[in-house]
Each structure stands twice: as structure tokens, then as C-alpha cells.
Amino acid sequence: VTAGEPIEDLLRVLAPRVLGTLAHRDPDFADCEDAVQEALLAAALQWPVEGRPDNPQAWLIAVAVRRLSDARRADSARRAREHRQATLKPTDALASGMDDPGRSPDDTLTLLFLCCHPALSPASQLALTLRAVGGLTTAEIARAFLVPDATMAQRISRAKQRVRATGISFRMPSPDEQTERVRVVLHVLYLIFTEGHTSTTGPVLHRDDLTREAIRLTRLVRGLLPNDGEVAGLLALMLLTDARRAARTGAGGALIPLPDQDRTLWDAEAIDEGVRLVTATLGARPLGPYQVQAAIAALHAEGDSTHDTDWPQILMLYRVLEELSPNPMTRLNHAVAAAMVHGPATGLALVDELAREGQLTSSHRINAVRGHLLEMSGDPEGARSAYLAAARQTTSIPEQRYLKVRASRLSQECSVEA
Amino acid sequence: VDWHTGRQEVEGDDVKYMVLLYDAPNIRENLSPELIAEMGALMSQLTESGELVGGEALADPSVTKTVRSVGGIPAATDGPYAEAKEHMGGYLLLDVEDEKRAVEIACRWPTSVVSAVEVRALMNQEISPQ
């Protein structure tokens, strides 16, 4: 934490520490979270005018504790009775926040486990993590998820009610539980990342923040769990994927597929860090799906073009990934890699197998891949109808536009040949 | 092949749904207080769960103005566009986990026992990670 840091960034770093300190002592997580949000708001308003306090964390803890006890006092007698024994004394929290800075990282991890508790729905986990750990305001989260503030406020308050109702406590899960709980945390961080990453420029420009936030939080988790290979794998996957951001879309948010991307626009520094992370983690630890996906992303990033890409290696990694976490999307990507190594007929056979099993039938991706593979195999008519079928299925405007362009390019070819 | 996606999951697709509520003939005249209360209860449940993004009821079809091209010039006439028995009566805009959940909500809409309810996905500006 440096003095020159913008106040907003500082507040986001401090938010989980302050909340951790409060939640550590007071059993009502929902009340603590409200109090911390109020303290953050007070800081955002006061610090730019009155200057930054000498110990920002202690200031926030003091204000949050005061808000918490004010809220309690204003509350009904019933609530006050319920909490009397557990209610925190302001001086305790203040002291702990200042005297014991070493405990903060553990509290942040405990906080993440609470926000990503399996009893909460994925939507609640995402929203709560962004607010409690990420220090984002409800309005910022609402904007990122493209819903009205009131909708997001309801979602967050619902999540907090659920924490209260199910008696989820602010404590570290037992060592046996931890492995599984870390998986949930990583999944939530991954979902936050994809929420931001799938957005294109234009009306949803500010969603880039979610990608940055996901990377920031994953770095934080990496600091807390430096020996977990999957944490490193997820961070690498995010860095390698995000490195291509600038090249993914052209004018007006139009989609640019991988082979057509201007590779000089890729973020070399992010690729470098991602590749280093992946290299360090592969083989050294038990392998998990994020590490394998990161390794695949690294191979894509290292090729000078799609033709230079090490497809046999990618195919091998998809086989490993299917073993580790069977999933229809993995199988579809496997089909693409198989086509690149063994030819389109092999890929098409795998795609047909997926379709026969009724997998991904409502997704446009099966037809999109089929279109590409048919085009590769020299069947422009078949490719064209597959692209058009995919265009009807997708709900993404940029993807629909892309698929229609692919289809119309083929119909021109067909008429020229005829 | 350029449709490579590094994405492992199918979920996370940010799709919102519009539930189009059609009115059966004379349904408005026959809406019982119980039915209206049921609608209100479902709306507040969806608000509370954070799934309801918006929703409105439309006025009676008889007060519709329809703009049609008459000789290439747009002109307004009284009355609805189509001589249909069922007219759109309102909509709900949902942000839910998946299509299954949107359909479940549509089935729970009180008038779905007498008239049609359509679930339509909204287009968006998202692209798959690649």
C-alpha cells in the first residue's frame, strides 16, 4: 500500500481486510458487511477533501465498528438482545486491526470461502465476492452485470440473508474441506473473468473492469495459496486469454477470429508472465484443469500463426483435460484440435458424436465448428448451411454478424464455381 | 479452423430472457383478485431473488394505434396490428441462471393455464472467449 495510489484502489485493497477484522469478531456477517460498505463510502467522500489518514486501515475499522454499533443501537430491542453477548466492542476491533496486521491475509481467505460458500447460488457467490472481497459498490457490480441497481441490491441482500439463515460462519474450513472449497473459489473467480472477457466494446465498455478485478483477486489468492498449482494455472489462463483482448475485436466490436488476429497487438508482457507461471506449475504438482487449459492457451500464444501452432501437443492436452474434467465444450475443442492434426473428417466425426448424444444442442457452437470443419473439407454448401444454423442459434450480435459473413462469403464462392 | 475456444464451461453465457405474456380473449375482464394477487406474489418473489430486471403491463389492445405504410407514407390508424384472438398483454424481463429457469417462471405465471406465454432470449454484445 503506497501513498501515491488512487484512493479507490487503496479502498479495494483494504475492504476485505477491514471486513475480515470485523467478521472475525462479530457473528453477523450481513451487518458487518453493511458497516464496511458505509465506512468505504465515508472514506471515498472524506479522504479527497480532508486528506488521507495516517493509518487508513485503522480509520476504516474504527468507522465501520462505529457504524455497526450505531446500527445495533438503532435496531429493535429484540435484535439487540440477540446480539448483546456477541457484539463487538469498538476498541477491540480497532486494536486488532492495528496491532495484528499479519492476520489480515488469512481473514481475506476466510472471507473468500464465505462468499463462495456452496450453499449460495453462483449468481450470489459472484455478487458477494465482488462486493465483500473486491470492495466494489452495488452500483458498480450492477453496471458490470447489466442489470438495474435495484436488482443487484436485491441479489446481494438475498445472498447475505442466506448466509444468516443457513448459519454459515466466518471460519476457516477444515483441512479436508479446503481443497474442495478452493475449487469453488477458483470457479467463481473464473466466472467473474468470463463475465468481463466475453463483453465487447461499445455499449458495455466498462465490463473490462471485471476482467481486471478477476485477475487482481486471483493474484491475491495466489499470494495466500502460493503452493496451489491450480491457483497458478487459473492466473496463467486469465493472463494468456486477456493478453489477446486488443486483437479480438475490430471496428464496431466486430469479432476477429484467432488466425486473422494481429499478433503484434497481443500483450507480450502478460503472455510472458502466463507462460512462466504455466511452465513452473506443470509437472511439479498434481495436474488440474486450469493448468491444462493454461498450457493450451500458452501453446496458442507461442505460435507465430495458426499453422505454426503445435496442434499435436494441443490435441494431447485436450485428451488430458477430458480425463480431468469431462465436459462437452472440452470435447468440442478436442474435435477442432483433432481436425487440425488428422484432418476435418476426424473432427467432424467427433462433432457428430456429440450431437448424437444430444450434447450442446441448444448452443450455436456445434454448428459453428461444423461449419468451419465442412469448409476445411471442401464442402462450401454444407458449411454455409451450418454457419446459418449457428447464426440463428446464437444470442450474440457480434458472433451472429461474423457467422453471416462467413456464410455469405461461401455463397459467393459457390456461385462463382457454378 | 478458427473457432477455437479455450472455454471449459457452457455456463456463464450472459443471456437475458423476455417472457411475453399473451392475453386470452376477455381475460382482463375476468381477472379475479386471487389471480392478481398471485401475479403480485410471483413478481415480488422474482424481485427478491434478484432475477426480475423489469416488466410492464400493456394497456387494452383496443386503445392501440398502428402505424402502417400507405403508399410509402407512414400513417396511424386505430386498433391493433393483427386481428388476433390473443394480444400481447405485457412482459417480464429476466436475468436468470439458464433457459430452464426462465421456462419454469413462465409456467408459474398465473395466466399460463389459459393463454400463451412466450420465452425469448435477448441478443447481446458478448463474444465467446477465444
Cβ burial of A272 (10 Å; 0-12, 13-18, 19+) is middle
Span B5-14, pLDDT tens digits:
333 344 445 6
Predicted pLDDT of residue A95: 44
Q: How are beta strands B52-57 and B87-94 bridged, if at all?
A: antiparallel
Give the number of C-alpha atoms closer than 13 A to the C-alpha of residue A395, restricted to the C-beta side: 16
User: How far off is chain A from B111, nearest CA to CA, in Å?
Assistant: 24
pLDDT in tens, chain A (418 residues): 455 678 988 999 999 999 999 998 888 999 999 999 999 999 999 999 999 999 999 999 999 999 999 888 877 655 555 555 555 444 444 444 444 444 556 688 899 999 999 999 888 899 999 999 998 889 888 887 878 888 899 889 989 999 999 888 888 898 889 888 999 999 999 988 987 777 654 444 346 678 889 999 999 999 999 999 999 999 999 999 999 988 988 887 788 888 889 999 999 999 999 999 999 988 766 889 999 999 999 999 988 887 788 999 999 999 999 999 888 999 999 999 999 999 999 999 999 999 999 888 878 899 999 999 999 999 999 999 999 999 999 888 888 999 999 999 998 766 655 4
CA-to-CA separations, B51 to A151, A153, A232, in angstroms, rounded: 7, 11, 34
If phi > 0 it is left, if psi is from -120 to 50 it is alpha, else beta; for residue A397 that is alpha
Q: Are the beta carbons of A371 and A383 closer than 8 angstroms?
A: yes
Predicted pLDDT of residue A415: 63
- In terms of Cα–Cα distance, which of A293, A301, A377 is closest to A339? A377
Q: Are B3 and A365 within 8 A, CB to CB?
A: yes
User: How far off is chain A from B13, nearest CA to CA, in Å?
Assistant: 8
| pTM (two decimals) | 0.83
Predicted pLDDT of residue B4: 38
Name the residue facing A336 among B1, B8, B11 (closest C-beta): B1
Crossing angle of helices A380-393 and A397-417, in 10° steps, is 160
Predicted pLDDT of residue A25: 85
Closest chain B residue to A301, measured at CA: B130
Predicted pLDDT of residue A334: 96
CA–centroid distance for A190 within its chain: 3
Q: Are the beta carbons of A124 and A188 closer than 8 angstroms?
A: no
Name the residue facing A397 among B6, B47, B125 (closest C-beta): B125
Question: Which of A399, A403, A409 should one mutate to test binding to chain B, selecting the residue with the greatest count of B CBs within 10 A?
Answer: A399
Q: Are A198 and B99 within 8 A, CB to CB?
A: no
A26 vs A394: CA distance, rounded Å: 48
CA-to-CA separations, B103 to A227, B35, B69, B97, B100, in angstroms, rounded: 44, 20, 36, 11, 5
Q: How many CB pairs under 8 A join A and B?
A: 143
Q: Which residues of B touch A293 (CB under 8 A)?
A: 6, 8
Dihedral over alpha carbons A180, A181, A187, A188 (to 10 degrees): 170
A92 vs A94: CA distance, rounded Å: 5
Predicted pLDDT of residue B67: 94
Residues of chain B whose C-beta is under 8 A from some C-beta in A? 1-16, 47-54, 95, 97, 99, 121-130
